Chain A
Amino acid sequence: MKRMLAGVLAGGLAGATGAQAEMLRIDWLERQVVPPPVLSNMQAEPATLGLDGARLSLADIATTGKFTGQDYRLVETVVPPEADFLPAAKAALADGARVLVVRAPAADLLALADLPEAQGALIFNTEAPDEALRGIDCRANVLHTLPSYAMRADALAQFIVTKRWTYLAMIEGTLPEDRAYAAALRASLTKFGLSLAAEKTWVFDANMRRAAAAEVPLFTQDLPEHDLLLVADEPGDFARYVAYNTWLPRPLAGSEGAKPVGWSGVVEQNGAAQLQNRFRDLSGREMRADDYAAWVAVAAIGEAATRTRATDAATLRSYLLSDKARIGGFLGRPLGFRDWDGQLRQPIPIVTERAVVAQAPFEGFLHATNELDTLGPDRPETQCTAFGGAK
């Protein structure tokens, strides 16, 4: 055993015994919002959406830390809807927060990122899909683990091209999220050589639980012939009542039907079943895209800390933005961060309630360096300059 002992010392990874464990503090900072009213109240948002993903991931990286002699701590700050976000954020930063996993709308996220005391911090956006945060409003101290509208829309457009569905129509809601997603879908269709034969805006305020069967056929009757009906209804308000009630029997995609998402409880390939099991054990529910965005943010932090043996935000950031980062995310490909806008490059599953229909990027959509970069703004297209601009 002497030989082994020598090896242990040489290897330098003898577990935490003896060695002083380094502590890496990770902050969970959440701005709770009151969701917009929707026509069906049957599915409530879990109170710990996102946070459960961060908690699970912390347990995962803490197990790794036991063997590397690194210690992790999750400090949770949840700001209720009626309270102010910025004072809570400032308090966390004053308390020593340097690596923050944030669940907050774009405006709050930007206000946090622009605080003088947040310069040099490393902030992960796990909730806001807005394009501008990865474009004109990007910040060097913010990385994004939730896919943008554009990434999800590009994934769906690739899927439509693969299916050779040529004739498309779209119904969009009136909320800002609906409009943003619809705009992203339009842009993606153009990017991949598709076009919309018709568009309509959903303006009804009737209670669709009673009237869907009567109203949706009429609403969709004047749409021209189409293979697929796109719906942009991000809060899940009306689109569920469109399914099976359209004038022509056509499949739906977008916010209902075949949905491009960052994650879903039906993802099971590439070892995902193990992650889903662990998540279900912890939270008693299915893992959603927001949970995954938080999970993968903490997993990326852990991976960077393990590989660099560092705990400071600057070292972690530069590792994550480098080619060296190959993060395992149960989606079948190594994940990394784009060094032009800080977005996590990730495959996008296209899911129904019960199965993964397909996963983007698809075969045939080529890219000079990484096929994952066919989803969302690529280096030459980026409007972000905070990361040093396009190289």
Chain B
Amino acid sequence: MIRTLLLTTLLASPALADEIWVTNEMDDTLSVIDVDTLTVKATYAIGERPRGITFSKDFKYLYVCASDSNAVQVIDPDTGKVLHDLPSGDDPEQFVLAPDDRLLYIANENDAVTTVVDTQTRKVVAQIDVGVEPEGMGISPDGKVQVTTSETTNMAHWIDTQTHKIIANSLVDSRPRHAEFSPDGSELWVSSEIGGTVAVLDAATQVEKGKISFAIKGVRAEKIQPVGMLFSPDATKVFVALGPANHIAVVDAKTLKVERYILVGRRVWHMAFSPDQTRLFTTNGVSGDVTVIDVASLEPVATIKVGRFPWGAAARPTP
């Protein structure tokens, strides 16, 4: 805790600005980036191996998967202090907060289970058996269907959030890492890291309606390993992080054509938009930094050094 104290003392009166919060997997810390100055304004020590990160809808609480602490930690973003832990099941890696702002769906990577936790009562509501190494977590905009992808079983498991039962399983390419519903809820996008592809599934039928492959000049096909995905604010584009290919692909959400590849840091995992949606922040695991992309021009504009192995990112508007 000494580290946290020192760092916060140094920043006696932090200027108010929009922020990007980043989990540093190998440092057990959170880096807080000031979106105006593009500098790290605070670093907070938290639980072990932090990965998944998301804010409550009112931005009063920050949830972080502290995988090796076997807990989801609830943090006060104004102070960086851990308020309490939520029961999460073993080895939580990634999660998704339901649109009701209350239930967290957590992937327990070691247990082949999806755990549903009520953030208010702090109790486990349900546990659902899924495939081996669950990771990608998506939820439909109406909150009716939650999707867990399992990396070693190579499936998207569609879970009815009323009954907490699996209603369908869609086989996708090898090692699915991330699941993202389109903002209108009609499609589910699943990235397959080892398969090197993104599958677009029809949410009504759970059947694949399209598949995206990637090719970057000068980059070996084996290095193209899609992980994180994010729909642009207007839903016309999807940004896909390509892992060790060190690029973000910009995909036309309608035609499924790749429009552009943006060079970022090494081993890019996940992304978050600035609250004003003009900038995209990417976590680059191996280079230990965050690339800032201008969304209008699709050009990288800055690189910010954070902790070791930055994994996830989440945005908070000016408090």
Contacts and interface: CB of A to CB of B under 8 A. Distances in A.
Interface string B260-280: 000000000000000000000
Given A8-B206, A306-B154, A67 B110 contact: no
Contacts of B145: 4
B289 interface: no
B194 A328 contact: yes
A11 interface: yes
Contacts of A10: 205-207
A321 B195 CA distance: 16
A47 interface: no
A328 B206 contact: no
Interface stretch (A78-86, A225-233, A258-266, A270-278): A270-278
Given A60-B132, A67-B153, A67-B157, A7 B168 contact: yes
Interface in A1-40: 1, 3-8, 10-11, 13-15
Nearest to B202: A7
B174 A334 contact: yes
A73 interface: no
A279 to B, nearest CB: 12
Contact of B168 (A8, A60, A63, A328): A8
Given A10-B205, A11-B206, A332-B244, A64 B174 contact: no
Contacts of B131: 63-64, 67
Q: How large is the interface on A (under 10, 10 to 19, 20 to 34, 35 or more residues)?
A: 20 to 34
A191 interface: no
A11 B168 contact: yes
A328 B152 contact: yes
Nearest to B162: A1
A95 B212 CA distance: 45
Contact of A68 (B171, B195, B204, B223): B171
Nearest to B152: A60
B196 to A, nearest CB: 7
Contacts of B167: 1, 4-5, 7-8
B222 A372 contact: yes
Contacts of B91: 277
Interface residues of B, number: 38
A112 B145 CA distance: 51
A80 to B, nearest CB: 33
B171 A13 contact: yes
A326 interface: yes
Given A11-B206, A332-B244, A370 B166 contact: no
Given A15-B166, A326-B173, A328-B175, A67 B155 contact: yes
B109 interface: yes
Interface of A is mostly: helix
B151 interface: yes
Interface in B285-318: none
Nearest to A331: B194
Nearest to A347: B222
B219 to A, nearest CB: 12
A67 B173 contact: no
B27 interface: no
Contacts of A1: 160, 167
A333 B204 CA distance: 33
B180 interface: no
A14 B153 contact: no
Counting chain B CB atoms within 10 Å of each CB, the highest count among A6, A306, A333 belongs to A333
Contact of B151 (A13, A277, A328): A328
B4 interface: no
A186 to B, nearest CB: 29
B220 interface: yes
A13 B169 contact: yes
Interface string B180-223: 00000000000001111000000011110000000000001011
Contacts of B170: 11, 13
Nearest to A309: B171
A328 B174 contact: yes
A4 B110 CA distance: 29
A1 to B, nearest CB: 7
Interface in A66-107: 67-68
B112 interface: yes
Contacts of B244: 332
Interface string B123-157: 00000000111000000000001000001111101
9 contacts: A10-B206, A13-B155, A63-B153, A64-B131, A64-B155, A274-B109, A274-B110, A277-B91, A328-B154
Given A7-B204, A11-B207, 12 more contacts: A5-B167, A10-B205, A10-B207, A14-B169, A15-B169, A64-B152, A274-B109, A306-B171, A326-B174, A326-B195, A326-B196, A370-B222
Interface of B: 91, 109-110, 112, 131-133, 145, 151-155, 157-158, 160, 166-171, 173-175, 193-196, 204-207, 220, 222-223, 225, 244
Interface of A: 1, 3-8, 10-11, 13-15, 60, 63-64, 67-68, 271, 274, 277-278, 303, 306, 326-328, 332-334, 370-372
